[in-house]
């Protein structure tokens, strides 16, 4: 992988996703972005604005509270983030079920 990255060891396999969510940066700017893949620990996203390695962002899935996340790697307009509070398995399953019922 090119671009900036930290050494990352994933705890779980990421599932393909492809849904739009809301991303908010520290300076308050909000964007609609596409989640490329998802695990209970994090996700990768297509961006409209580049983020910085170690930047803190907030990700909001429909119907859930915002999740605080750390940017772990970036490559052009794609980033990988780790949630500061991992998704509970039942919440993760619900997000996947909603996506399957309403594909983008």
- Taking the C-alpha atoms of residue 7 and residue 86, their distance in angstroms, rounded to an integer, is 19
Q: Which domain holds residue 53?
A: 15-96
| 87: Cα within 13 Å, side-chain hemisphere | 26
The kind and range of the H/E element at 19 are: strand 15-25
At 9-65, the pLDDT tens digits run: 556 678 999 999 999 998 888 999 999 999 999 999 999 999 999 999 999 999 999
Assigned domain for 101 exists: no
CATH code, domain with 28: 2.40.10.220
- For 65-104, write each residue's pLDDT tens digit: 999 999 999 999 999 999 999 999 999 999 999 988 887 6
Answer yes or no: is 6 within a domain: no
The residues with which 76 forms a beta bridge, in sequence order, are none
Q: Within a domain: residue 80? A: yes
Does residue 76 belong to any structural domain of this protein?
yes
* Cβ-based neighbour number of residue 90 at 10 Å: 8
Going by C-beta distance under 8 Å and a sequence separation of 6 or more, which residues neighbour residue 7?
A: none
pLDDT (tens digit, 9 = 90+) per residue, 20-32? 999 999 888 899 9
pTM (two decimals): 0.84
Of 38, 20, 16, 30, the C-alpha closest to 82 is 38
């Amino acid at each position: 992988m090119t671009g900036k990255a930290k050494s990352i060891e994933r705890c779980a396999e990421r599932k393909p996703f492809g849904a739009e969510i809301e991303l908010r940066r520290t300076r308050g700017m909000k964007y609609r972005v596409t989640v490329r893949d998802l695990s209970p620990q994090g996700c990768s996203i297509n961006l409209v604005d580049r983020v910085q390695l170690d930047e803190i962002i907030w990700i909001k899935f429909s119907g859930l509270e915002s999740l605080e996340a750390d940017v772990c790697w970036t490559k052009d307009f794609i980033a990988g983030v780790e949630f500061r509070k991992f998704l509970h398995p039942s919440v993760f399953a619900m997000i996947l079920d909603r996506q399957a019922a309403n594909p983008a």
